[in-house]
């Protein structure tokens, strides 16, 4: 078997990034600084145009990529990951889509359990200012007004404006 270390060590972090917010960025900065390479997995990649999942995987990819460029972080790659809706197979799904990795950053109990059962090293990722740095809060503020902008990196707001994301979210979450 080819040694994974030959290509350097990869860490993994997964989120839905609906949208990427300042809490995600705190973790991403920390992981990128601590790791040789960081793989950012875009979870639930197949969903878009839903009130809980308004943005496509490609739009989320652009948000992440633009922010990383703006921050000068280069030791990362982005991998969209569709849900399988079968937790016993999910780690294999992630493995099939990501460069080989050895460490996983997560504070989600299910994610931690699944990857530790599969033998991965789990690293804690603390939550920053969770009352406001949360995808759910950002989407709620987008629907209600303009208060979402301070909660996301500037480049994310630019991407959302470019794709008319707020109007999309308002329309799809409006009642019939
Ligand atoms: P949603 O409310 O849409 O579920 P979310 O804010 O929970 O969004 P996700 O896109 O679901 O974010 O991504 C979850 C990942 O992001 C988890 O690993 C979690 O640890 C991390 N994360 C989310 N919010 C924060 C935060 N405020 N600080 C640090 N990490 C965060
Ligand atoms: Mg979440």
pLDDT in tens, 81-100: 999 999 999 999 999 999 99
Instruction: Read off the DSSP letter of residue 40.
Output: E
The residue count for the chain: 176
Rounded to the nearest angstrom, the distance between the alpha carbon of 1 and the centre of ligand 1 is: 35
CB 75 within 8 A of CB 48: no
The answer for residues whose C-beta is within 8 angstroms of residue 51's C-beta and 6 or more apart is 139, 169, 172, 173
Whether residue 4 has its Cβ less than 6 Å from ligand 1: no
Go through 64-94 and write b for each residue having 16 or more CB atoms within 10 A of its CB, e for each that does not: bbbbbeeeebeebebbbbeeeeeeeebbeeb
Please check the confidence at residue 162 and state whether its pLDDT lies above 60: yes
pTM > 0.85: yes or no: yes
Query: Which residue is associated with the tokens 């994301």?
Result: 165
Summarize pLDDT for 19-54 with one digit per residue, the tens.
Answer: 999 999 999 999 999 999 999 999 999 999 999 999
Judged by its nearest atom, the ligand closest to the C-alpha of residue 23 is 1
For residue 39, the number of C-alpha atoms closer than 13 Å in the C-beta half-sphere is 20
- 53-71 confidence digits (pLDDT tens): 999 999 999 999 999 999 9
Q: Which residues pair with 132 in a beta bridge?
A: none
In the β-sheet with 10-15, what is the strand arrangement from edge to edge? 76-80, 37-42, 10-15, 103-105, 121-123
Quick one: how many helices (H) and strands (E) in the chain? 7, 5
Residue nearest to atom 3 of ligand 1 (CA): 135
Q: Which atom of ligand 1 is nearest to the CA of 43?
A: 10
Q: Are strands 37-42 and 76-80 parallel, antiparallel or unpaired?
A: parallel
Residue 105 phi, psi dihedral angles, 5° rounding: -100, 120
């Amino acid at each position: 078997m080819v040694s994974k270390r030959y290509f350097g060590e990869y860490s993994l972090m997964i989120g839905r990034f609906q949208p990427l917010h300042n809490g995600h960025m705190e973790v991403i900065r920390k992981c990128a600084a601590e790791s040789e390479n960081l793989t950012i997995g875009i979870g639930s990649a197949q969903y878009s145009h839903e009130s809980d999942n308004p943005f496509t995987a490609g739009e989320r990819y652009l948000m992440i990529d633009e922010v990383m460029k703006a921050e000068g972080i280069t030791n990362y790659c982005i991998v969209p990951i569709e849900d399988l809706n079968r937790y016993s197979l999910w780690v294999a799904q992630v493995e099939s889509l990501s460069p080989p990795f050895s460490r996983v950053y997560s504070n989600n109990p299910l994610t931690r359990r699944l990857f530790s059962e599969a033998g991965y090293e789990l690293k804690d990722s603390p939550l920053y200012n969770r009352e406001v740095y949360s995808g759910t809060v950002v989407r709620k503020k987008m629907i209600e007004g303009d208060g979402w902008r301070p909660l996301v990196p500037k480049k994310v707001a630019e991407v959302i404006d470019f794709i008319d994301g707020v109007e999309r979210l308002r329309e799809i979450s409006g009642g019939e």
